[in-house]
Each structure stands twice: as C-alpha cells, then as structure tokens.
Amino acid sequence: MYDELTAVELAEALTRVRQLAPEMTGPLSMVDEATLGWSLRYPQLTQPQQAFSQARSRQWPRTRTEQTWQEVITTADALAAALRELGDVRLARCAAPTGWGSCRRVLAEQGAPCTSQEHLGSDSQTVVSS
Ligand SMILES: [Zn+2]
C-alpha cells in the first residue's frame, strides 16, 4: 500500500503516473491521498500537493483533455521532486487500535501524541509505527 512507502518510493509512484492511461483515475486518487498525508507532516509539500490534487481532479471524463493530462504529469513531477528531497524517510503514523484496524493517522512528528478520538478504549496508549 502507498501508506508504507518512503518519500523516495512515493516519488517513484508519482513518476510512473505518466505511464497510466489518462482515464485511470483510481490510481491518481490513491497517490493523491497518500501524498496528502505527507503534506500534513512536511509543509513544503503543501503547495505542490495541492497543485497535483487540483490537476488530477480535472481528469474526470467530462473535463479531461490532453492539456489536463499534461498538467497531471507536470504537477506529479514537481511533487515527486519535493518528496525526493526528503530522502529515505517514512511517515510516522499512529498504530493505536480503532474499530476498523489501526488508526494510521499521520503524526506531526515521530513520537507526537495522536489527537484522534477513534481509538478503542479511553486510556489506550498511543504506539507509533515507523
Ligand atoms: Zn491515532
């Protein structure tokens, strides 16, 4: 899953976006969601992430053109470049149990407390996976 990728690996996934067919909106959506988590942790990714997100949101059948597809590729490359600068790091996510598995919320930094209200039990210890 994209959740488990390092910054460099996620950058590779973004670089491979150009090999997709333009009508493949599912993978774009997953990459968008994965990179959104990174922009919560690393503010320098916010702008390129939003640009990619807006470009891919125009890839629906009725709004899609050759130009919107080129914008997806261009913004994906810019976001990939920003991710590569972070290097071989993983995003810290909360591993506390919830009703549907583990929380997975992106943490502001390694060891930071999770503010989610979805954890099971009132005094469950927040455990960080890296
Ligand atoms: Zn949590």
Distance 108 CA to ligand 1 centre (A): 11
Distance 101 CA to ligand 1 centre (A): 11
Distance 96 CA to ligand 1 centre (A): 5
Q: Cα–chain-centroid distance for residue 38?
A: 5
Distance 86 CA to ligand 1 centre (A): 24
Distance 33 CA to ligand 1 centre (A): 18
Closest by CA position to 84, among listed 17, 36, 12: 12
Q: Return per-residue pLDDT of the chain as tens, 130 residues.
A: 688 899 999 999 999 999 999 988 899 999 999 999 999 899 999 999 999 999 999 998 899 999 999 999 999 999 999 999 999 999 888 989 999 899 988 887 767 789 888 899 755 455 555 5
Distance 116 CA to ligand 1 centre (A): 5
- CA–CA distance, 122 with 8 (Å, rounded to integer): 37
At 72, list the tokens: 């997806």
Distance 14 CA to ligand 1 centre (A): 27
Distance 31 CA to ligand 1 centre (A): 22
How many CA within 13 A on the CB side of residue 125?
Answer: 4
- CA–CA distance, 3 with 5 (Å, rounded to integer): 6
